[in-house]
């Protein structure tokens, strides 16, 4: 029986790895420059963490969670996002007592039961950060600037920062009742799902693509005007800190985020190079989550981006230069020289040069064929003559040129030539 891969998952093959390594290593480098440290939480958590942390009325909790009962009768969920687990860990490990504020980053697989399509999988990867402990507009702006800096360093062009403020918990009732007021005349004609949203999570209606909803919200006042003066001032300050750092942004009054925990600033980074799934990164301030999860009242700001979606853009841009092969194939001619081959390979490997061998072949022609197949950049050929003279033949697999060099010059010669590859 042939086994297929589960729907919505994919193998990440060696040919894609240059993209993964580029994104992962740049993320670590940039996060480090801003003082962030890595945290790793389990891939599964107790289900109530997400129900409470993300919100019962969010799409994730309502439709997308991988939840199962384990052998001990506990309800377990494969993590659909990284913020609630990091917040839980912050509380459990008493971070607030240790340092007051924490700057944490994570990367790893997330799981959501969604309809698979380009850029949307059931297992996908996120890289994200959480800045926990400080409520100040400079944090929002510095964090967004860091995301922008990271995307630039990875080489993404045509990315845009969209930003909005949804105010504090105190602004929320007024905004929500205004939304209900505008939608009320058409409420009964909406889908059950949308009616439910209007009743339970009206803010999410603002970014709805439903044409009836859109037409009734056309005259909806700019959300900024409904915020309390403190929230308006906070948002203004975030924008001026962004200006100071030369981060281009677009204020987008209909931008609301899918998760219940956001307060004040919300933002997304989108790419003009992606079609329908054009959001690569989303985040914002969440001042109530840690308290909601049983911790002390602790403000926070965070974001996460999808690695697979970022790779889709990089592939389209076609600007990432894929790593050249820098390996050396060792070709001892004749079985009696195989140990000599091992010696050569181990000497070079201990000096950082990748080497490959194939002892199932002993003649020059099949050995060279194999060297070509493995994409080796150089081949070292050594037969009886070379062993007698303490030399090897160095063959450049690209040009086909070959030359005889002294054994004690091998490391020096290869190190120099490979540095130009």
Q: Which residues bind ligand ATP (CB under 6 A)?
A: 81, 112, 114, 119-121, 124, 126, 258, 277, 279-282, 304-306, 308-309
Sheet-wide strand order for 123-132: 37-38, 102-111, 123-132, 300-306, 279-285, 263-271, 159-165, 249-251
Q: What is the DSSP string of 75-115?
A: EEEE-S-SHHHHHHHHHHTTHHHHTSSEEEEEEEEEE----
Query: Tokens 């400080």 sit at which residue?
Result: 134
Query: Would you say 24 or 358 has its CB closer to ligand ATP?
Result: 24
- Biggest CA-to-CA distance, the chain: 95
- Tell me whether residue 79 or residue 112 sits nearer to ligand ATP (CB atom): 112
Give whichever of 280 and 290 is closer to ligand ATP, judged by the CB atom.
280
Count Cβ atoms below 10 Å from residue 365 Cβ, excluding itself.
Answer: 8
**Least distance in angstroms from the C-beta of 73 to ligand ATP:** 29
Contact 108/63 with Cβ under 8 angstroms?
Answer: no
The nearer residue to ligand ATP, 307 or 344, going by C-beta atoms, is: 307
- Least distance to ligand ATP from the beta carbon of 11, Å? 15
**Phi-psi region for residue 264, left (φ > 0), alpha (ψ -120 to 50) or beta?**
left
Nearest to 324 by CA among 371, 368, 376, 367: 376
Question: How far apart are CB 346 and ligand ATP at their closest, in Å?
Answer: 43
Select the residue whose beta carbon is closest to ligand ATP and give its number.
306
Name which of 281 and 348 has its Cβ closer to ligand ATP. 281
CA 81, CA 37: separation in Å to the nearest integer? 18
Q: How far is the CB of 32 from ligand ATP (least distance, A)?
A: 22
We find the least distance from the C-beta atom of residue 64 to ligand ATP, in angstroms, to be: 8
CB of 88 to ligand ATP, least distance (A): 17
List 46's β-bridge partners, or say none.
76
* Residue whose tokens read 């001042």: 287
User: Least distance to ligand ATP from the beta carbon of 37, Å?
Assistant: 21
Query: Would you say 1 or 276 has its CB closer to ligand ATP?
Result: 276
The distance of closest approach from Cβ of residue 197 to ligand ATP in the complex, given in angstroms and rounded to an integer, is 14
Q: Pick the closest to residue 337 from 363, 314, 299 (CA basis).
A: 363
DSSP string, 356-413: EE-TT--SHHHHHHHHHHTT-SEEEEE-HHHHHHTEEEEEETTT--EEEEEGGGHHHH
- What the block records as the tokens of 414 is 């290869």
DSSP 43: S
Rg over CA atoms, the chain: 28
Is the dihedral angle over the CA atoms 353, 357, 362, 363 positive or is it negative? negative
Distance of closest approach, residue 282 Cβ to ligand ATP, in angstroms: 3
Task: Select 33 or 118, whichever has its Cβ closest to ligand ATP.
Answer: 118
């Amino acid at each position: 029986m042939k086994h297929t891969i589960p729907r919505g998952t994919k193998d990440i093959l060696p040919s894609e790895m240059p993209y993964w390594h580029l994104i992962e290593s740049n993320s670590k480098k940039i996060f480090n420059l801003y003082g962030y440290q890595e945290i790793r939480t389990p891939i599964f958590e107790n289900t109530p963490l997400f129900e409470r942390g993300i919100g019962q009325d969010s799409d994730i909790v309502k439709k997308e969670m991988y939840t199962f009962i384990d052998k001990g009768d506990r309800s377990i969920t494969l993590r659909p996002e990284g913020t609630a687990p990091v917040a839980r860990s912050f509380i459990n490990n008493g971070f607030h007592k240790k340092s007051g504020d924490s700057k944490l980053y994570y990367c790893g697989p997330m799981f959501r039961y969604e309809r698979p399509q380009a850029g949307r999988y059931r297992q996908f990867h996120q890289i994200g950060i959480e800045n926990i402990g400080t409520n100040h507009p400079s944090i929002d702006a510095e964090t967004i600037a860091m995301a922008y800096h990271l995307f630039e360093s990875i080489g993404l062009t045509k990315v845009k920062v969209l930003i909005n403020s949804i105010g504090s918990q105190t602004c929320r009732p007024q905004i929500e009742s205004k939304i209900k007021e505008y939608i009320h005349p058409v409420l009964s004609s909406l889908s059950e799902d949308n009616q439910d949203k209007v009743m339970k999570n009206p803010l999410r209606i603002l970014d709805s693509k439903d044409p009836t909803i859109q037409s009734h919200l056309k005259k909806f006042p700019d959300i900024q005007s409904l915020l309390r003066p403190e929230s308006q001032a906070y948002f203004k300050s975030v924008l001026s800190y962004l200006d100071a750092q030369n981060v281009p942004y677009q204020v987008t009054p209909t931008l609301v985020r899918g998760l219940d925990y956001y307060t004040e600033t919300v933002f997304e980074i989108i790419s003009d190079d992606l079609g329908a799934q054009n959001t690569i990164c989303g985040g914002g301030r969440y001042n109530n989550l840690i308290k909601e999860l049983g911790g002390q009242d602790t403000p926070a700001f965070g974001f996460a981006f999808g690695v697979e979606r970022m790779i889709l853009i990089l592939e389209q841009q076609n600007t990432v230069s894929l790593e050249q092969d820098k390996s050396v194939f060792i070709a001892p001619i004749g079985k009696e020289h195989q140990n000599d081959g091992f010696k050569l390979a181990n000497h070079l490997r201990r000096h950082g040069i990748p080497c490959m061998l194939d002892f199932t072949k002993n003649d020059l022609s099949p050995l060279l064929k194999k060297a070509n197949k493995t994409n080796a950049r150089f081949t070292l050929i050594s037969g009886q003559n070379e062993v007698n003279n303490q030399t090897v033949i160095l063959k450049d697999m690209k040009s086909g040129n070959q030359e005889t060099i002294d054994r004690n010059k091998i490391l020096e010669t290869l190190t120099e030539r490979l540095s130009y590859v």
